[in-house]
Structures are given as structure tokens and as C-alpha cells.
Amino acid sequence: MSDIIEAYLKKVLGQDERVEIRRSEMANRFNCVPSQINYVINTRFTVQQGYLVESKRGGGGYIRIIKVKLIDEAEMLDMMIDIVGNKITQKNACSIIERLFETEMLTKREANIMLSVMEKSLLNADGIIENELRARLLVAFLNNLKYE
């Protein structure tokens, strides 16, 4: 169900740079609970994946999804470096790498190499240390891309 909802929203976003939805209307459309809509938006429309999500609660509430357009590659890389910060989970690191591949800033081979270095089994450390080490590695990759 999540894949279907995601595909629908991305299809709408393909026609427009933003979509505004009402959670309850989407739940009715797809015959699911509103929390399913939240799950899709929270996991598949993140900043790491190139989307901004705004929401307003209440009777006239909405959820607005905006596909981010960046001026140039350097700006995109700076934004990603800011997102990474001092620590990042494997899932979020993979989302960033996938976004770089989708925007053709990385070849498939480069993306696969980066993904392999982000593996939990490779870093094999405590959760906090692992996420900090992953962040350092990812920031080094991003900086290398920026100044190449």
C-alpha cells in the first residue's frame, strides 16, 4: 500500500513541483488509515530524498510536499553536509547517496562504493560511534564531490 501511495504522490509531483493533500481524503482514496499516509510521507518524502514537507493541523489542515530545486550542485552538496551533521544513520546515509545518483552527481559504481562503506557490518561499532564515523565518511565524500 505504501508503494502505491508513494507512486501516486510522485506522479502528481512529476506534473507539478508541489502537491497539497488532506490526510483524511488520501486515506479515503486509498482505503487506509490516516497514519499510513503519515508513514509514507515521513519515510519517503524526506529532505535527504529532495523533498520539503509542510503541514498544518486542524479542520482546514493540509500536508504540502514540495520537490526541492537547488540552484547548483555545490548548493545541494552543502545542504547535504548540513543534514549529515555529526552523525547519521545508515538509512539516511543511503537516502542521500541514492539522491546523488538520481541527480546524476554519482555514477552507479560510485554510488555502490559509497553505499558499501556506509554498511553497519563494516563500521561494526557502538550505535553512537558508528553513526559518527558514518557521518565523517559521508561528509568526506560530499566534500570531495564538491571540490573535484
35-54 pLDDT, tens digit each:
898 899 988 888 777 788 88
For the domain made up of 2-67, the CATH class stated in words is alpha beta
Instruction: Tell me what pLDDT residue 31 has.
Output: 92
How is domain 73-147 classified at the CATH fold level?
1.10.1200
Ranges of residues in the chain with a pLDDT under 70 are: 59-60, 69-72, 125-128, 146-148
**40-70 burial code (b ≥16 CB/10 A, e <16):** bbeebbbbbbbbeeeeeeeeeeebebbbeee
The pairs formed by 29-36 with CB atoms below 8 angstroms and a separation of 24 or more are: 30/1, 30/4, 30/5, 32/1, 32/5, 36/1, 36/2, 36/5
- Closest to 134 in 3D by CA, of 71, 75, 74, 88: 88
SS3 (DSSP) at 69: coil
Instruction: Tell me what pLDDT residue 69 has.
Output: 64
Question: What is the rounded distance in angstroms from the CA atom of residue 5 to the CA atom of residue 43?
Answer: 12
Question: What is the rounded distance in angstroms from the CA atom of residue 40 to the CA atom of residue 142?
Answer: 27
pTM of this structure: 0.54
Instruction: Tell me what pLDDT residue 76 has.
Output: 78
Instruction: Tell me what pLDDT residue 126 has.
Output: 66
User: Could you give the residue ranges of the DSSP H alpha helices within the chain?
Assistant: 2-15, 23-29, 34-44, 73-84, 90-102, 108-117, 120-123, 127-147
Residues of the chain within CATH 1.10.1200.150 domain(s) are 73-147
Residues of the chain within CATH 3.30.56.130 domain(s) are 2-67
